[in-house]
Amino acid sequence: YEIRLKLSKEVLTIQKQDVICVSGSVPNANHRTVKLRRQPVGGLGLSIKGGAEHKVPVVISKILKDQAADQSGMLFIGDAVIQVNGISVEGATHEEVVQLLRNAGDEVAITVQYLREAPSFLKLPLGSPGPSSDHSSRASSPLFDSGLHLNGNSTNTAPSSPSSPTANEPKYEKRWLDTLSVPLSMARISRYKAGTNKLRSNAFEVLALDGISTGILQFCSAQESADWLRALSTNISDLTLQNMKMANKCCSASDQVIHMGWVNERLQGEDSPQLYTFKFLALKGSSFYIFSTPPVSTLDWIRAEKTYNLCEVLFKIHKLWLNNDCWLQANLYLGIHQDYELENQRPYCFSVVVGHGKSHYFNVEQGSELAIWEKSFQRAIFLEVQRTGSKTFTCSWQGESLCFTLDFAVGFTCFDNKTKKILWRFKFSQLKGSSDDGKTRVKLLFQNTETKQIETKELEFQDLTAVLNCIHSFIAAKVASVDPSFIDSQFIARKYTYSN
């Protein structure tokens, strides 16, 4: 059914049409009784659809201009017929209502109630029988507009005066009224059909933090849907930024929120490659947080589902999805109506590799969101590396207990855990390569500055993934401190978004 959307900075309002009394007394606010005088030409001046046989009420589907129903000013398309001359028709079939209206005489009293959510068949162009004296079953079909054959047999020989509202009768108007307000602060948007990777090309749903949902909003074209999606996302992002600023007032300089927002996380396991669930991510201080619901108080931060140290995670863009999305976005903006099955693929995907070889796989709705997450992760990791200065991991080699330190100023250092004696030390620039067994062991290849020879250092770690991610973080941060423009040139998502 048709609705109207009204967007403000903080709220999305859904409006539905309703009939309201604008003047006069209203004994029953829901029901209206309208007296019509049947005219020799045009009859009652209305058509109806529906009936009990289709489990829907009989509804006024057409009102003919300047005819009796129109001149009354009290009847509207979408009015459900409740009574005819005092006889209830709420459980009547279409044919029964047609016969009752035809035989109701010249003065007909119709009691109606406006349906805000009119039956879907009212909108469908299923046809309307033309002028005919044949009152066949087809002419009285609940899927057709039964209108002209409601004329009946007028006893008047001269044209009767059309019915019109008197001064004492109430006046009604059909207006757009606010029926649902969806707060946009911490709200989320979904274009995907639940439990699938099917993308709705011209529809989406907005879900508020308090559980209020718009339901599926379907637009006339993919272009219109994309425009609304962009406008809503912008307002949600602005409100998220305000929430971040408020949260940061209560936090120290080393514990600031860099970025946060909703994503979809793919559930783990081979049995559910298409199942995604909403998660709220946050980059704050030294940590990367995963929540099921957004943190709204300082206590909520300790209730995260997962928390990882930023130095020990690795952010990865999935380029394949970006390439596939080129034709997808082109079709969306051309307004081609299709259901896209991307075979377990979603555009705008990234993963975060964490300790012990595990990773979280995420999807966002727009390329601009992906670009922001990429830049935010980079910034948050660099800040944490600079704040921390160094990270030390315990390791072993050939039975010896060792310590491996990454230092932002010095580079790599390995020393004996018991005696604290330094075994070797190299700068970041001396690292020329590495290899690992994917489990616990890694080989680091360093170039000796004096001999120019490559020296191989082998180490064994309990959590090799965390160590490798940390090495990547420190080296990337070091390069960024020397040449920020180089790092900017490496942003995959931002480069893709701007070029398109």
The model's confidence at residue 493, banded by pLDDT at 50, 70 and 90, is low
Q: What angle do CA 54, 59, 60 make, to 5 degrees?
A: 145
Phi/psi at 326 (nearest 5 deg)?
-60, -50
Q: Does 98 fall in a domain?
A: yes
**Residue closest to 39 by CA, chosen among 164, 146, 142, 136:** 164
Boundary of a domain, candidates 121, 136, 169: 169
Boundary of a domain, candidates 218, 235, 250: 250
pLDDT digit string, tens, across residues 214-268? 999 999 999 999 999 999 999 999 999 999 999 999 889 999 999 999 999 998 7
Q: Which residues contact 430 (CB under 8 A, 6 or more apart)?
A: 411, 446, 447, 448, 449
Q: Does 289 fall in a domain?
A: no
pLDDT at 311 over 50: yes
Q: Does 371 fall in a domain?
A: no
DSSP conformation class of 43:
B
Q: Does 463 fall in a domain?
A: yes
The reported pLDDT for the residue numbered 293 is: 94
pLDDT at 495 over 60: no
Q: In terms of domains, do 6 and 34 share one?
A: no
What is the spatial distance between Cα 174 and Cα 59, in angstroms, rounded to a whole number? 16
The reported pLDDT for the residue numbered 267 is: 87
User: 3-class DSSP state for residue 284?
Assistant: strand
pLDDT at 155 over 60: no
Q: In terms of domains, do 12 and 37 share one?
A: no
pLDDT at 21 over 70: yes
pTM: 0.76
Q: Does 86 fall in a domain?
A: yes
Q: Determine the average pLDDT of the residues in 119-124.
A: 60
Q: Does 354 fall in a domain?
A: no
User: 3-class DSSP state for residue 447?
Assistant: strand
Range scoring the smallest mean pLDDT among 271-275, 293-297, 496-500: 496-500
Query: What is the per-residue burial (b if ≥16 Cβ within 10 Å, else e) of 385-406?
Result: beebeebebebeeeeeebbbbb
User: 3-class DSSP state for residue 38?
Assistant: coil
Q: In terms of domains, do 53 and 71 share one?
A: yes
In 309-463, alpha helices (H): 319-334, 367-388
Q: Determine the average pLDDT of the residues in 318-347.
A: 47
- Domain span at residue 463 reads 388-497
**Residue closest to 162 by CA, chosen among 75, 278, 44, 245:** 44
Q: Does 51 fall in a domain?
A: yes
pLDDT at 141 over 70: no
> What is the average pLDDT score of the chain?
83
The model's confidence at residue 374, banded by pLDDT at 50, 70 and 90, is very high
Q: What angle do CA 284, 286, 290 make, to 5 degrees?
A: 55
What percent of the chain is predicted at pLDDT more than 90? 50
Q: In terms of domains, do 71 and 129 share one?
A: yes
Q: Which amino acid does the sequence have at 457?
A: K
The reported pLDDT for the residue numbered 166 is: 52
Q: Does 445 fall in a domain?
A: yes
Higher local confidence (pLDDT), 331 or 485: 485
The reported pLDDT for the residue numbered 134 is: 42
